[in-house]
Chains A and B, each alone.
Chain A
Amino acid sequence: MAKITFITTDDKTITLEGTTGSVMQLAVDNSVPGIDGDCGGVCSCATCHVHVDPDHLEKTGEASEIEEDMLDLNDYSNERSRLCCQLEITEKLDGLVLQVAESD
């Protein structure tokens, strides 16, 4: 089980607990504003964009090249950007804090 905290674009804090599946699915199932997951988690739509808390980059690891390519062309991305459909929930993510990225 992992506790994951989302900070929304209007600064609300939502902490959720998950055991399996992707972080995107956890957020969508709990209606976290700004995480839409339109493509269902196959890294095609970029509607699950988050910024990882600077202290937690080790928990999430690095994005794959395909994910990087998606983020490169996102106007709101930075070096801590991830598409959270590509983050699989494991014990390792316990305590993770994610800032929901802005979008158009």
Chain B
Amino acid sequence: MEKSELPDPFKEVRELKGYGEMDDQNDPVTMILGLKNLRKCAHNWKTFQSGAEPGRIVIPSEVNIRDTRQIPFEVDPPEHKDFRALVDPWFKRPLEEAYKATLTQQINDIVDEVLAQDTVEVVSEFALRLQSRALTLLLNIPYEESETWISWGTHVFRSEGEALDGDKANILYDYIDEKITEAIEKPGDDLYSMLLAAQVNGKKLTREEVKGVMILTFAGGRDTVINTITNSVAYFAEHPESLDRLLAEPEITTKAVEELIRYFSPLTQMGRVVTEDTEVCEHAIKEDTRISLCWASANRDEKVFENPNDIVLDRKVNPHVAFGFSHHNCLGATHARQITNILLTTLAKKVKSIDIIDYNENIEELGEFKRKVGFNNLTVKFHKR
């Protein structure tokens, strides 16, 4: 097996039953594995709700470490629509030329840095730093702030060996509280200040609501972006011909971004709480239990994707759900796509090849399934073009 390969552990059960089962802190989950059923469930917010007890739709559940509702993520229609409309324009800023130019400069710089190093631990020395620096753009705050986030390490919520780490979560929550206070005292042109000044349905956002958007922004884009960057480096290490192809055919880059994100599915699944007794895949599901929308499985559904376990860089029709589906699709997708797009372009331009020296896989234990989602560490040597 190639080191960069992410196998599909769901195939057999997906084809046989269409759903899997896992326990999570005594709050079991029925995992929806096929693309078509997953889309139907994702769209049906009345039966499969996001606006449940805060933290419950996340797997592993965060109910024991978080009381703040993440917004718009843990709000259902119709309220969801107004919150989403408020934040959407801000989260589309990565399409602006000035944003793109600054992000390109950041990525150029960090690729130059790692090219000059002997060996590089990709997760902590490349992906985390790149992700943190780019996040200063999304928040529209000074670049130097990224040093604080980098010092927190790779996981805000999770640390190795234990699913949930309340102490680490508190570092983030206390930090956000402090920054909200600073923005109240001295408003600027950052995301905190925009939210504090904003109104939804004629009412100003409460401090708790502002905090909910900020927690979502930090937590949603951390592990996911880090895994995407790290897995991309591993893939190019074993496929230098893809770097050559992206350099020769830059017009396929947007398709390559979608394909890599489909294949990596950096967020394995997201839960919903069931509001009434129902049925999925001819399987009865009880009210007040949980289902999960298993993006990683749906993205390998052979009924939809030809050669689902191959990375086809210029895959033309690619209806993946790596950014979710329907109302709650990923708010940070524009930022994530822009980072990945610029990363691919920059690596193709500057890097000839990459050697993998050492690695340790990050495997999620999901009841009957074990899924590799990326690496805990990956040591490589980058070679200049």
Q: Which residues from chain A sit less than 8 Å from chain B, CB to CB?
A: 38-45, 64, 66, 69-70, 73, 86, 104
B-side contacts of A104, CB under 8 Å: 81, 84, 327
**A42/B304 contact (C-beta < 8 A), A69-B39, A73-B40, A104-B81 known:** no
Q: Which of B230-263 contact A (CB under 8 A)?
A: 254-255, 257-258
B326 at the interface (CB under 8 A from A): yes
Residues of chain A lying within 8 A (CB to CB) of residue B39: 69, 73
Chain A positions within 8 Å of B333 at CB level: 38
- Nearest Cβ distance between residue A26 and chain B, in whole angstroms? 15
Inter-subunit contact A43/B319 (CB<8 Å)? yes
Known A64-B317, A66-B304, A69-B39; contact A42-B84, beta-carbon cutoff 8 A: no
**Interface residues of A: mostly helix, strand, loop or mixed?**
loop
- Which of B40, B258, B320 is within 8 Å of A40, CB to CB? B258
List, in ascending order, chain A residues with CB within 8 A of B254's CB.
40-41
Are B317 and A42 touching (Cβ within 8 A)? Answer: yes
**A43 touching B317, Cβ below 8 Å:** yes
Shortest distance from the beta carbon of A39 to any chain B beta carbon, whole Å: 6
- Known contacts being A104-B81, A104-B84, is A42 close to B327, with CB within 8 Å? no
A42 touches B258 (CB 8 A): yes
* B316 cross-chain contacts in A, Cβ below 8 A: 42
CB-based contact A42/B315 at 8 Å: yes
Q: Chain B interface: which size bin? A: 20 to 34
**In the assembly, what is the distance between CA of A28 and CA of B327, in Å?**
22
Given A40-B254, A73-B40, check contact A66 B319 (CB 8 Å). yes
Please tell me if B199 contacts chain A, counting CB pairs below 8 Å.
no
Supposing A39-B258, A69-B39, A73-B326 touch, asked if A44 and B84 sit within 8 A by C-beta, the answer is no
Residue of A nearest to B77 (CB): A104
Q: A38-B333, A38-B334, A104-B327 are in contact. Are A44 and B40 (CB under 8 A)?
A: no
A12 to B350, CA, bound (A): 45
User: Which residues of chain B from 303 to 322 have any CB-CB distance to chain A below 8 Å in the complex?
Assistant: 304, 315-321
Contact B258–A73 (Cβ < 8 Å): no
Verify A66–B36 contact, CB threshold 8 A.
no
17 A/B residue pairs, CB under 8 Å, sorted by A: A38-B337, A39-B258, A40-B257, A40-B258, A42-B255, A42-B258, A42-B315, A43-B317, A44-B318, A44-B321, A44-B323, A45-B323, A69-B39, A70-B319, A73-B325, A104-B84, A104-B327
Closest to A42 in B: B318
Interface check B352, CB cutoff 8 A:
no
Per-residue A-contact encoding for B121-141, CB less than 8 Å = 1, 0 else: 000000000000000000000
Q: Provide the residues of chain A in CB contact with B258, threshold 8 Å.
A: 39-40, 42, 44
